[in-house]
Amino acid sequence: MPLDPALRCSTVPLSNGLQIPVLGLGTSHAGGYSHDAIVYALTECGVRHIDTAKRYGCEEKLGQAVKESGIPRSELWLTNKLWPEEYGYTAAKKACLDSCSRMGVEYFDLYLMHWPDSLRPGCSNREVRAETWRALEELYKEGVCRSIGVSNFLIPHLEQLQEDCSVVPHVNQVEYHPFQQPNKLIDYCRHKGIVFEGYSPLAKGQVLSNPTVLQIAGKYKRTPAQICIRWSIQNGVVTIPKSTKKTRIQENCQAFGFQLEEADMLALGELHDGRHVSWDPTNVE
Protein backbone atom coordinates (compact mmCIF):
# COMPACT_ATOMS: atom_id res chain seq x y z
CA MET A 1 0.00 0.00 0.00
CA PRO A 2 1.57 3.36 -1.00
CA LEU A 3 2.21 5.95 1.66
CA ASP A 4 -0.52 8.56 1.84
CA PRO A 5 0.65 12.16 1.32
CA ALA A 6 -2.33 13.29 3.41
CA LEU A 7 -0.33 12.36 6.52
CA ARG A 8 1.97 15.35 6.13
CA CYS A 9 -0.74 17.94 5.56
CA SER A 10 -3.37 16.78 8.06
CA THR A 11 -3.20 19.16 11.01
CA VAL A 12 -5.35 20.61 13.77
CA PRO A 13 -5.15 24.34 14.62
CA LEU A 14 -4.19 25.43 18.12
CA SER A 15 -5.64 28.56 19.71
CA ASN A 16 -2.35 30.40 19.09
CA GLY A 17 -2.44 29.74 15.34
CA LEU A 18 0.03 26.85 15.20
CA GLN A 19 -0.91 23.67 13.38
CA ILE A 20 -0.25 20.37 15.18
CA PRO A 21 -0.07 17.24 12.98
CA VAL A 22 -3.16 15.14 13.69
CA LEU A 23 -1.14 11.89 13.69
CA GLY A 24 2.11 11.42 15.55
CA LEU A 25 4.37 8.69 16.86
CA GLY A 26 4.52 8.15 20.59
CA THR A 27 7.46 6.84 22.60
CA SER A 28 7.53 5.41 26.12
CA HIS A 29 9.74 3.86 28.76
CA ALA A 30 10.21 0.12 29.31
CA GLY A 31 11.15 -0.77 25.75
CA GLY A 32 9.01 1.90 24.12
CA TYR A 33 11.81 3.42 22.07
CA SER A 34 13.55 2.19 18.93
CA HIS A 35 16.13 4.31 17.15
CA ASP A 36 15.62 2.55 13.83
CA ALA A 37 11.85 2.87 14.09
CA ILE A 38 12.04 6.63 14.68
CA VAL A 39 14.35 7.16 11.70
CA TYR A 40 12.11 4.94 9.55
CA ALA A 41 8.97 6.81 10.60
CA LEU A 42 10.53 10.15 9.72
CA THR A 43 12.26 9.21 6.48
CA GLU A 44 9.98 6.55 5.00
CA CYS A 45 6.50 7.11 6.45
CA GLY A 46 6.24 10.89 6.41
CA VAL A 47 5.77 11.20 10.18
CA ARG A 48 6.51 14.73 11.37
CA HIS A 49 5.13 14.59 14.91
CA ILE A 50 7.07 12.82 17.68
CA ASP A 51 5.88 12.66 21.30
CA THR A 52 8.22 11.90 24.20
CA ALA A 53 8.86 12.73 27.86
CA LYS A 54 11.86 13.00 30.12
CA ARG A 55 10.38 10.17 32.18
CA TYR A 56 10.78 7.81 29.22
CA GLY A 57 14.57 8.15 29.37
CA CYS A 58 15.13 8.41 25.63
CA GLU A 59 15.65 12.14 25.02
CA GLU A 60 19.28 11.90 23.92
CA LYS A 61 18.63 8.89 21.67
CA LEU A 62 15.59 10.57 20.16
CA GLY A 63 17.58 13.71 19.45
CA GLN A 64 20.18 11.61 17.66
CA ALA A 65 17.50 9.86 15.59
CA VAL A 66 15.96 13.17 14.57
CA LYS A 67 19.38 14.46 13.53
CA GLU A 68 20.14 11.26 11.61
CA SER A 69 16.84 11.53 9.72
CA GLY A 70 17.99 14.75 8.10
CA ILE A 71 14.52 16.26 8.40
CA PRO A 72 14.81 20.03 9.02
CA ARG A 73 13.84 21.01 12.57
CA SER A 74 11.32 23.51 11.16
CA GLU A 75 9.37 20.64 9.58
CA LEU A 76 9.06 18.66 12.80
CA TRP A 77 6.63 18.82 15.70
CA LEU A 78 8.38 17.70 18.89
CA THR A 79 6.41 17.29 22.10
CA ASN A 80 8.05 16.76 25.49
CA LYS A 81 6.64 16.50 29.00
CA LEU A 82 7.59 17.63 32.48
CA TRP A 83 7.37 14.99 35.21
CA PRO A 84 5.98 16.04 38.65
CA GLU A 85 9.33 15.47 40.36
CA GLU A 86 10.39 18.71 38.64
CA TYR A 87 7.24 20.71 39.24
CA GLY A 88 7.67 24.16 40.75
CA TYR A 89 8.71 27.40 39.08
CA THR A 90 12.51 27.14 39.16
CA ALA A 91 12.69 23.38 38.71
CA ALA A 92 10.31 23.42 35.75
CA LYS A 93 12.23 26.07 33.84
CA LYS A 94 15.50 24.25 34.41
CA ALA A 95 13.99 20.89 33.44
CA CYS A 96 12.70 22.21 30.14
CA LEU A 97 16.03 23.78 29.20
CA ASP A 98 17.85 20.60 30.23
CA SER A 99 15.52 18.53 28.04
CA CYS A 100 16.20 20.84 25.09
CA SER A 101 19.93 20.37 25.68
CA ARG A 102 19.68 16.58 25.87
CA MET A 103 17.68 16.45 22.64
CA GLY A 104 19.93 18.96 20.89
CA VAL A 105 17.12 21.38 20.06
CA GLU A 106 16.53 25.04 20.85
CA TYR A 107 12.80 24.73 21.43
CA PHE A 108 9.87 22.34 21.77
CA ASP A 109 6.75 22.71 19.69
CA LEU A 110 4.69 21.56 22.66
CA TYR A 111 5.64 21.14 26.32
CA LEU A 112 3.22 19.46 28.71
CA MET A 113 2.76 19.02 32.43
CA HIS A 114 2.67 15.23 32.52
CA TRP A 115 0.31 14.56 35.44
CA PRO A 116 -2.02 16.62 37.69
CA ASP A 117 -0.67 15.25 40.98
CA SER A 118 2.43 17.05 42.27
CA LEU A 119 3.49 13.85 44.11
CA ARG A 120 4.57 16.05 47.04
CA PRO A 121 3.18 14.92 50.41
CA GLY A 122 1.65 17.79 52.34
CA CYS A 123 1.61 20.18 49.39
CA SER A 124 -1.44 21.55 47.65
CA ASN A 125 -1.58 20.10 44.15
CA ARG A 126 -3.42 23.18 42.97
CA GLU A 127 -0.71 25.56 44.20
CA VAL A 128 2.12 23.47 42.75
CA ARG A 129 0.33 23.16 39.41
CA ALA A 130 -0.19 26.93 39.26
CA GLU A 131 3.43 27.67 40.16
CA THR A 132 4.62 25.20 37.53
CA TRP A 133 2.26 26.56 34.90
CA ARG A 134 3.59 30.07 35.43
CA ALA A 135 7.04 28.73 34.53
CA LEU A 136 5.61 27.18 31.36
CA GLU A 137 3.91 30.49 30.53
CA GLU A 138 7.30 32.21 30.70
CA LEU A 139 8.93 29.52 28.58
CA TYR A 140 6.14 30.07 26.06
CA LYS A 141 6.63 33.83 26.01
CA GLU A 142 10.40 33.32 25.63
CA GLY A 143 9.90 31.01 22.65
CA VAL A 144 11.49 27.98 24.29
CA CYS A 145 8.08 26.32 24.00
CA ARG A 146 6.01 27.23 20.94
CA SER A 147 2.92 25.97 22.74
CA ILE A 148 2.20 24.61 26.21
CA GLY A 149 -0.31 22.21 27.63
CA VAL A 150 -1.15 19.51 30.11
CA SER A 151 -1.62 15.75 30.15
CA ASN A 152 -4.12 13.65 32.10
CA PHE A 153 -5.90 16.77 33.41
CA LEU A 154 -9.63 16.53 34.09
CA ILE A 155 -12.18 19.36 34.11
CA PRO A 156 -11.59 20.41 37.76
CA HIS A 157 -7.82 20.59 37.18
CA LEU A 158 -8.33 22.71 34.06
CA GLU A 159 -10.81 25.01 35.79
CA GLN A 160 -8.40 25.67 38.65
CA LEU A 161 -5.53 26.33 36.28
CA GLN A 162 -7.55 28.88 34.35
CA GLU A 163 -8.54 30.63 37.59
CA ASP A 164 -4.93 30.77 38.77
CA CYS A 165 -3.06 31.58 35.56
CA SER A 166 -3.31 33.62 32.37
CA VAL A 167 -2.55 31.32 29.43
CA VAL A 168 -5.17 28.66 28.68
CA PRO A 169 -3.47 25.33 27.84
CA HIS A 170 -3.17 24.82 24.12
CA VAL A 171 -3.47 21.03 24.44
CA ASN A 172 -4.72 18.41 26.89
CA GLN A 173 -3.31 14.94 26.20
CA VAL A 174 -5.43 12.17 27.69
CA GLU A 175 -6.02 8.44 27.24
CA TYR A 176 -8.48 7.94 24.39
CA HIS A 177 -9.70 4.84 22.57
CA PRO A 178 -13.08 3.16 21.92
CA PHE A 179 -13.17 1.77 25.48
CA GLN A 180 -12.24 5.12 27.08
CA GLN A 181 -14.13 8.08 25.65
CA PRO A 182 -14.17 11.05 28.08
CA ASN A 183 -16.69 12.97 26.00
CA LYS A 184 -17.58 15.54 28.68
CA LEU A 185 -13.88 16.40 28.99
CA ILE A 186 -13.55 16.62 25.20
CA ASP A 187 -16.56 18.94 24.97
CA TYR A 188 -15.16 21.10 27.77
CA CYS A 189 -11.75 21.35 26.09
CA ARG A 190 -13.26 22.34 22.78
CA HIS A 191 -15.47 24.94 24.43
CA LYS A 192 -12.34 26.46 26.01
CA GLY A 193 -10.25 26.28 22.83
CA ILE A 194 -8.05 23.47 24.16
CA VAL A 195 -7.07 20.87 21.56
CA PHE A 196 -7.77 17.34 22.77
CA GLU A 197 -4.98 14.85 22.08
CA GLY A 198 -5.40 11.13 22.68
CA TYR A 199 -2.79 8.56 23.66
CA SER A 200 -3.11 4.76 23.69
CA PRO A 201 -5.54 4.80 20.72
CA LEU A 202 -5.35 1.00 20.48
CA ALA A 203 -5.90 0.49 24.24
CA LYS A 204 -2.49 -1.21 24.36
CA GLY A 205 -3.79 -3.79 21.90
CA GLN A 206 -6.96 -4.65 23.81
CA VAL A 207 -9.25 -3.14 21.17
CA LEU A 208 -7.72 -5.06 18.25
CA SER A 209 -9.67 -8.26 18.97
CA ASN A 210 -13.02 -6.59 19.62
CA PRO A 211 -15.73 -8.14 17.39
CA THR A 212 -17.16 -4.77 16.35
CA VAL A 213 -13.73 -3.47 15.38
CA LEU A 214 -12.96 -6.68 13.48
CA GLN A 215 -16.27 -6.51 11.61
CA ILE A 216 -15.67 -2.89 10.56
CA ALA A 217 -12.07 -3.69 9.58
CA GLY A 218 -13.35 -6.42 7.29
CA LYS A 219 -15.89 -4.09 5.71
CA TYR A 220 -13.22 -1.52 4.76
CA LYS A 221 -10.47 -4.08 4.10
CA ARG A 222 -8.32 -2.33 6.67
CA THR A 223 -6.61 -3.55 9.85
CA PRO A 224 -8.22 -3.13 13.27
CA ALA A 225 -5.47 -0.66 14.20
CA GLN A 226 -6.18 1.47 11.14
CA ILE A 227 -9.90 1.48 11.96
CA CYS A 228 -9.30 2.68 15.54
CA ILE A 229 -6.82 5.36 14.49
CA ARG A 230 -9.15 6.51 11.71
CA TRP A 231 -12.05 6.68 14.20
CA SER A 232 -9.95 8.81 16.55
CA ILE A 233 -8.79 11.18 13.80
CA GLN A 234 -12.29 11.42 12.35
CA ASN A 235 -13.48 12.51 15.79
CA GLY A 236 -11.03 15.42 15.53
CA VAL A 237 -8.62 13.99 18.11
CA VAL A 238 -4.87 14.40 17.67
CA THR A 239 -3.66 10.80 17.88
CA ILE A 240 -0.27 9.38 18.86
CA PRO A 241 -0.03 5.58 18.58
CA LYS A 242 3.19 4.03 19.89
CA SER A 243 5.19 1.34 18.16
CA THR A 244 8.79 0.23 17.87
CA LYS A 245 8.09 -1.98 14.84
CA LYS A 246 8.53 -0.57 11.33
CA THR A 247 5.65 -2.59 9.89
CA ARG A 248 3.28 -1.37 12.59
CA ILE A 249 4.31 2.25 12.12
CA GLN A 250 3.72 2.00 8.39
CA GLU A 251 0.34 0.37 9.08
CA ASN A 252 -0.66 3.10 11.53
CA CYS A 253 0.23 5.81 9.04
CA GLN A 254 -2.32 4.40 6.59
CA ALA A 255 -5.23 5.87 8.52
CA PHE A 256 -5.96 8.35 5.75
CA GLY A 257 -7.39 7.80 2.29
CA PHE A 258 -10.67 6.37 3.56
CA GLN A 259 -13.62 7.56 5.60
CA LEU A 260 -15.68 5.65 8.16
CA GLU A 261 -19.41 5.88 7.60
CA GLU A 262 -21.51 7.49 10.32
CA ALA A 263 -23.05 4.16 11.35
CA ASP A 264 -19.58 2.70 11.92
CA MET A 265 -18.47 5.77 13.84
CA LEU A 266 -21.51 5.36 16.09
CA ALA A 267 -20.89 1.62 16.55
CA LEU A 268 -17.34 2.32 17.71
CA GLY A 269 -18.63 5.12 19.93
CA GLU A 270 -20.85 2.61 21.72
CA LEU A 271 -17.85 0.52 22.83
CA HIS A 272 -17.06 2.84 25.74
CA ASP A 273 -16.91 0.87 29.00
CA GLY A 274 -14.77 3.26 31.03
CA ARG A 275 -11.69 1.08 31.31
CA HIS A 276 -8.23 2.62 31.60
CA VAL A 277 -5.14 0.94 30.19
CA SER A 278 -2.92 3.66 31.65
CA TRP A 279 -3.01 6.00 34.66
CA ASP A 280 -6.38 7.10 35.96
CA PRO A 281 -6.36 10.71 37.28
CA THR A 282 -9.93 10.56 38.60
CA ASN A 283 -8.96 10.76 42.29
CA VAL A 284 -6.26 13.43 41.93
CA GLU A 285 -7.37 16.62 43.68
- Residue 1 binned pLDDT confidence (cut-offs 50, 70, 90): very low
Contacts of 122 (CB under 8 A, 6+ apart): none
Q: Which carries the bigger pLDDT value, residue 7 or residue 24?
A: 24
Q: What is the pLDDT of residue 8?
A: 61
Q: Is residue 282 part of a domain?
A: no
Stretch 152-157: mean pLDDT, rounded? 98
Q: What is the pLDDT of residue 67?
A: 97
Q: What is the pLDDT of residue 218?
A: 98
Burial class (CB in 10 A: 0-12, 13-18, 19+), 273: exposed
Q: Is residue 1 part of a domain?
A: no
Q: Is residue 278 part of a domain?
A: no
- Residue 5 binned pLDDT confidence (cut-offs 50, 70, 90): low
Q: Across all residues in the chain, what is the average pLDDT?
A: 95
**Rounded Cα distance, 146 and 21, in Å:** 14
Q: What is the pLDDT of residue 29?
A: 78
Q: What is the pLDDT of residue 155?
A: 98
Task: Return the active site residues.
Answer: 56
Lowest-confidence segment of 92-106, 112-126, 138-152, 164-178 by average pLDDT: 112-126
Number of domains making up the chain: 1
How does pLDDT run across 64-121, given as a tens digit for each residue? 999 999 999 999 999 999 999 999 999 999 999 999 999 999 999 999 999 999 988 8
Q: Is residue 2 part of a domain?
A: no
Q: Is residue 262 part of a domain?
A: yes
* pLDDT over threshold 50, residue 135: yes
Q: Is residue 274 part of a domain?
A: no
Residue-number span of the structural domain to which 91 is assigned? 7-269
How does pLDDT run across 227-249, given as a tens digit for each residue? 999 999 999 999 999 999 999 99
The enclosing domain of 75 has a CATH number of 3.20.20.100
Q: What is the pLDDT of residue 281?
A: 97
**Rounded Cα distance, 33 and 57, in Å:** 9
Binding site feature residues for substrate: 114
Q: Which carries the bigger pLDDT value, residue 29 or residue 158?
A: 158
Pairing label, strands 19-21, 11-13: antiparallel
Q: What is the pLDDT of residue 161?
A: 97
- Residue 2 binned pLDDT confidence (cut-offs 50, 70, 90): very low
What is the three-state SS of the chain? CCCCCHHHHCEEECCCCCEEECECEECCCCCCCCHHHHHHHHHHCCCCEEECCHHHCCHHHHHHHHHHHCCCHHHCEEEEEECHHHCCHHHHHHHHHHHHHHHCCCCECEEEECCCCCCCCCCCHHHHHHHHHHHHHHHHHHCCECCEEEECCCHHHHHHHHHHCCCCCCEEEEECECCECCHHHHHHHHHCCCEEEEECCCHHHHHHHCHHHHHHHHHHCCCHHHHHHHHHHHCCCEEECECCCHHHHHHHCCCCCCCCCHHHHHHHHCCCCCCCCCCCCCCCC
